[in-house]
Structure 1
Amino acid sequence: MKLDVLLQKINMINFAQQATELRPEFTVKVDIPPDKSNLRRGGMNAHILVSDGLKRLARVRQTSTASTPVIIQSEIETMCLLKAEGMQVPNAFVPKSRHNEDLHYFFIEYLEGHPCSAPISKSSLTEDPCHRISDRLLFGGEIRGLISPDFLQDTPPFFFGPFQSSAHRYLAQMDHVLKHYEQSDQFSDAGISTYVAHLWLRGLIQDTDIGSDGPTFLKHADDKGDQIIIGTDAKLVGLVDWEWASTASKGEAFAAPLAPVHIDSFFSCSNDLSSNEEKLLRTFADLAECVLKGKVYQRLPMLIGQEPDLAQIHACEHGLTGKRGTGPTIDEWVERLIKHRYKDVSVLQKGIGTRIRNECDCS
């Protein structure tokens, strides 16, 4: 949605009335900017400051689909659960009544502070927040009902799952991609490469013990660093952006987040731990194995649903098996797999035949 249209729709919402219904005895002030250049927003949400002695934000989705209300409800429930367990997250408030507005929104507690850098730099925060975050995240026991926030559908039941483990979730995501191409009438070169890469990756996941059965834990899904809000003293104020949180097996839930990675090294497809990841490993020795084996969880979201990146594929294989793949080009890699491993996969043969016929028709 264009920002000027978004701002017009925001101006049509009576946030003051909604806030008054939550705290009737207070006078409400709503701070809607006069133009789009001053609109507070991130990648997914715009934020309108609402104050009645306590500061809150109306968290407004910039774009909506049929599944948006379900995603918002999941975010609210997650934040309320964490708040009840004593975690430093903003409290969430659901409007008591809605008046057929086009936008989806809810209220959250305003946190004084600013986001950490993404990824976290050495000067971003002190030792204290690191321990306080981890103490809260280890708050207690398993959470049942492993679901995937990725590849949401716009028709019920919206989510894939629930799943028994992280492995089952990843396999379901890859099956979703494979099914998309199997039902497609057209198979471009990119489509064939993507199909082969997902077929190969599915086999790799299936043959390892990644994310095996066991207790499941809550995992933040956008943990690159700027979900951490800190004060001027570099101490933790709270953790935000819970809309994509899901449950995960222990190995995935306590793998190193993206926040402490060394960006250049990571995108050069090295699985060596950064100095911050090594510090995490030393600090929480009981979770050291999760950190050591966790690089694969940083890479899988960059592979599933995407066109293949051979360097990332090799890095993922190394993270799962210890083998270091080298060369060839992506086209050669795909051609070799089709010739030797997937020569009897009818969907591929049909797709290749269709592509060749289309090329002949165009020549």
Structure 2
Amino acid sequence: MGAWPLPRAESPTDTPASDQWTKFHQHLDKALIEAQATSLRPGHACVLNASGHEDLDKLSLEQTRALMEESGDMRFYNHHFPLIFDDGVKWIVRCRRLRRDRPSYGVMRYVLDSEIITMEELRNAGVCVPRAYRALGQDEDTAQGPNKRRFDLYFFVEYVDAMEFPLAFLGPQKNILNQMLNSGRLTCLIIRTFVSSYAEQMIKLSRIHFDAIGSLHHCPNRGTIVGPMIDKMVGSHSKPYFHGPFRTAYERWTNTIDYQLDLVLHHEGYDGDPITCYLSLLDLRDLVEGWQELKNPEEEFYIRHCDSKADQCFTDPAGNIIAWIDWEWAAVTTKAEAFASPLAFRGEGISDKMTEWETLLAEAYVALGRKDLAECVRNARRYHWLEKLADPASGQICPPQDFHAFRMY
């Protein structure tokens, strides 16, 4: 059956964006959050959402209006609130946004805990990830009722004093890269610095590996382990919530496609003619069946940022990455998939040719002595197509020409 059915109509999240924001704050325990943060920095008091003499609700509503004016709605999946200590240290409270299309509390808690653990592993490896802190006392099994626990989906993150690199608005699909590269030496250097810095971060990421495909979780007796794979395409409201871990990419992808086939049989997941959807997915499964590389056994698997629009990268004015945030949907996967070119470098479409961004990235890997990662970029298209064809997010099965393009690789 479908993974994420909508909550009942009386859900507190079934409201316009500004009302949703207000309800969220009415249920947040400001004193508790401040006490939790102080317990992580003993001897230092803090104030949540401090901004001059404005109180919490007023500031929150101002932030809501600013976002709505900018984008037409409350964007993204998280709220962020400043937390300021008495010695000037700043943290951010990263709270899951409440929406009618969000999965159950258990699923969201599972994803949040994995995000914290993933950030810890990356930071320990030297990746520019801000330090994350779990709020003490949060436990899915001891939460006091569904209404109360809905509002403890948050954790603390070090404040990042940097600027978001505007790659999400400079995608190659708009042909802006060539304009920027030709507009002057300074702009060109900033772009190349950013791409080189991105490559350096990915090389650091390549130094930590795991023994299976899935997502990172904490086991009391074993430390960090690879557990079920957090996946927007596959899941349920009951434990263990997701599928896996897997030993091969073939096992992972056939599991995903079989799940989509089951959705179609139950008239869920896709719009349109169910027979066409089912046959298209069977065709995709046959293509995966014939892809020998996916079946090859591997011993080392790597963390992948599964929403790699690159607006998660924060830089200094020169273009050097100094913070990489938002690891909500991170996963551990094969080397070929983990180091395939990110979505931001590929652009919205999938071209047969490498984009200028991808070319720069491959060149940066070579210059840094990692020809193997450059090959992952050059061979990324097949994985890009597979991910697109297996994703039911749009509610529409991909057109025949997309399946034909995938078949050509």
TM (norm. structure 2) is 0.70
How far apart, in 2, do the equivalents of 1:290 and 1:20 lie?
Answer: 44
Q: Which of these residues, 98, 114, 117, is aligned with residue 74 of structure 1?
A: 114
Match of 2:202 in 1: 134
8 Å contact from structure 1 (residues 230, 238) kept in 2 = yes
8 Å contact from structure 2 (residues 267, 274) kept in 1 = no
How far apart, in 2, do the equivalents of 1:42 and 1:165 lie?
Answer: 35
Match of 1:9 in 2: 24
Structure 2's unaligned 5+ residue stretches are 1-12, 50-55, 69-73, 139-143, 181-186, 215-228, 366-370
8 Å contact from structure 1 (residues 29, 50) kept in 2 = yes
Percent identical: 25
Q: Which amino acid aligns with 2:43?
A: E
Q: Which of these residues, 370, 377, 380, is aligned with residue 294 of structure 1?
A: 380
Match of 1:310 in 2: 400
8 Å contact from structure 1 (residues 125, 230) kept in 2 = no
Q: Which amino acid aligns with 2:255?
A: A
- Is 1:224 paired with 2:309? yes
Map 1:336-351 → 2, pairs under 5 A: none
Q: Which amino acid aligns with 2:351?
A: S
How far apart, in 1, do the equivalents of 2:313 and 2:271 lie?
Answer: 42
Match of 2:265 in 1: 182
Q: Which of these residues, 292, 312, 319, is aligned with residue 234 of structure 1?
A: 319
Match of 1:37 in 2: 65
Map 1:1-363 → 2, pairs under 5 A: 1=13, 2-3=16-17, 4-11=19-26, 12-14=28-30, 15-31=33-49, 32=56, 33-35=59-61, 36-38=64-66, 42-52=75-85, 53-63=88-98, 64=102, 65=104, 66-98=106-138, 100-103=148-151, 104-116=153-165, 117-118=167-168, 119=171, 121=177, 123=187, 125-127=191-193, 128-140=196-208, 142-147=209-214, 148-150=229-231, 151-184=234-267, 189-211=272-294, 212-214=296-298, 215-263=300-348, 267=349, 269-284=350-365, 285-306=371-392, 307-319=397-409
Give the Å deviation of 1:187: 10
Q: 1:18 to 1:37 in 2, by over 3 A?
A: farther
How far apart, in 1, do the equivalents of 2:47 and 2:203 lie?
Answer: 36
8 Å contact from structure 2 (residues 260, 269) kept in 1 = no
Q: Which amino acid aligns with 2:314?
A: I
Higher relative contact order (CA 8 A, sep 6+): 2
Q: 1:232 to 1:281 in 2, by over 3 A?
A: closer
Q: Which amino acid aligns with 1:213?
A: P
Give the Å deviation of 1:278: 1.8
**Which range is displaced more, 162-171 or 207-216?**
207-216
Structure 1's unaligned 5+ residue stretches are 320-363
How far apart, in 2, do the equivalents of 1:16 and 1:81 lie?
Answer: 26
How far apart, in 1, do the equivalents of 2:260 and 2:127 lie?
Answer: 36
Give the Å deviation of 1:125: 4.1
Give the Å deviation of 1:101: 4.3
How far apart, in 1, do the equivalents of 2:248 and 2:341 lie?
Answer: 18
Q: 1:189 to 1:234 in 2, by over 3 A?
A: closer
Q: Who wins on radius of gyration, i.e. which is larger?
A: 1
Secondary structure in structure 2 of the residue aligned to 1:162? coil
Give the Å deviation of 1:48: 0.7
Q: 1:136 to 1:10 in 2, by over 3 A?
A: farther
How far apart, in 2, do the equivalents of 1:186 and 1:50 lie?
Answer: 40
8 Å contact from structure 1 (residues 79, 89) kept in 2 = yes
How far apart, in 2, do the equivalents of 1:246 and 1:185 lie?
Answer: 25
**Which range is displaced more, 91-100 or 115-124?**
115-124
Q: Which amino acid aligns with 1:309?
A: P
How far apart, in 2, do the equivalents of 1:226 and 1:189 lie?
Answer: 33
8 Å contact from structure 1 (residues 166, 252) kept in 2 = no
How far apart, in 2, do the equivalents of 1:258 and 1:189 lie?
Answer: 27
8 Å contact from structure 2 (residues 270, 277) kept in 1 = no
The Cα RMSD (Å) is 2.5
